[in-house]
Structure 1
Amino acid sequence: SIAVNGVCLTAVALPGNGFVADVSGETLSLTSLGNLKSGSQVNLEKALTLATRLGGHLVSGHVDGLGTVISRQEDARSVRFVIKAPAELAKYIVHKGSITVDGTSLTVNGVDGARFELNIVPHTFQETIMATYRAGSQVNLEVDLIARYLERLLLGDKASEPGAKGLTMEALARAGFV
């Protein structure tokens, strides 16, 4: 496995200095991979093994949706980005929580509705494709892995029912949170 801009792919051939991977129609419809052209810069990351030291947030390489860069602003030595997530992902994005943008695990510095803010330090800015981001750029987003599982667990027995998609006030009350 290798992640390309945060999308986990299976290398099926290793010609020369590259690799070949099959990409499904679903992957192309849910990620920015279809926008890539020959020579495009990408973030690459090898799969984590269980014996590897964990140096970031828990991510799986399963993109949850496409975000759009709203703004980019220099801020001393760092760069601040505001990104708009799809509405259905906004509930998983929290201040000081984690989010993955094009495979780079980052800390959320602010949240306003479906928009969130990132402060990118020089090392991350130089070692990723973030320098290419402009207003309107589409980016792959993966929300916090634990939040997704927690939501499903809180559904309890309702999770096995058809149409069980997310938390409701009723589900929270059953679990003792309201």
Structure 2
Amino acid sequence: MFTGIVTAIGTVTRVEERGDLRLTIACPFDPATIAIGASISCSGVCLTVVEKGGATGEAWFAVDVSAETVSRTAQDRWRKGARLNLEPALRIGDELGGHLVTGHVDAVGRVSSLAKEGGSTRLEILAGKDVAPFVAEKGSVTLDGVSLTVNSVHDEAGGDVRFGLNIIPHTADVTTLGTLEQGDALNIEIDVLARYLKRMEALRG
């Protein structure tokens, strides 16, 4: 489990085809704190550390990304040079600063518009109809591993959903969300509580 509070930005330095993709990711962590077999959220995708090395501030770790994961996530994340939002798994006793995040991507959305709003950036995300029932005003959503609050929701005629969020300057600075452009793809994870509520509603109906 994660909280959606990004602790660092990593960079994909190597991509190898081994049946699955083997990615090497450079990061500013202390390699002594990275355990083989540990889970790290990489732009919202829970991946398992299979190798590690480097020194404090110049560490690296490797993960395997299956074809299933590649097919269900934003494709640009798995190329050399891609920048990834990183968050180690939540430990018992850690502060839950965002919301409970599983690292399982539900859908890929796209930035339909972005504009300055005060000191923040106002984003509008277009997502498919499968996501629509789980997005609510003032509810939580995870975009590329970042816990955010939904500020507005508009249901499109074809069943898709368009929702708005504000990215404050701090979040823009410490995550990859500050470099987004119109049309960019994003990994979306809906609030796990919303998922269970939807299931209970379906059974009750």
Alignment of 1:142 with 2:189, yes or no, is yes
The corresponding residue for 1:163 is none
Structure 1 or 2: larger strand share? 2
Choose the corresponding residue for 1:119, options 138, 157, 166: 166
Structure 1 or 2: larger helix share? 1
In 1, the alpha carbon distance for the partners of 2:77 and 2:171 equals 23
| Superposition deviation, residue 155 in structure 1 | 3.7
In 2, the alpha carbon distance for the partners of 1:144 and 1:21 equals 25
The corresponding residue for 1:15 is 53
Instruction: Flag structure 2 segments of 5+ consecutive residues without an equivalent.
Output: 1-38, 156-160
The corresponding residue for 1:3 is 41
Change (3 A) 1:56 1:101: same
Which amino acid counterpart does residue 183 of structure 2 have in structure 1? G
| Superposition deviation, residue 40 in structure 1 | 1.7
Q: Name the SS of the counterpart of 1:63 in structure 2.
A: coil
In 1, the alpha carbon distance for the partners of 2:124 and 2:43 equals 18
| Superposition deviation, residue 128 in structure 1 | 0.6
Asked whether the 8 Å contact 2:172–2:179 carries over to 1, the reply is no
Q: TM-score, normalised on structure 1?
A: 0.84
Q: Name the SS of the counterpart of 1:151 in structure 2.
A: helix
CA RMSD of aligned residues (A): 1.3
Asked whether the 8 Å contact 1:28–1:34 carries over to 2, the reply is no
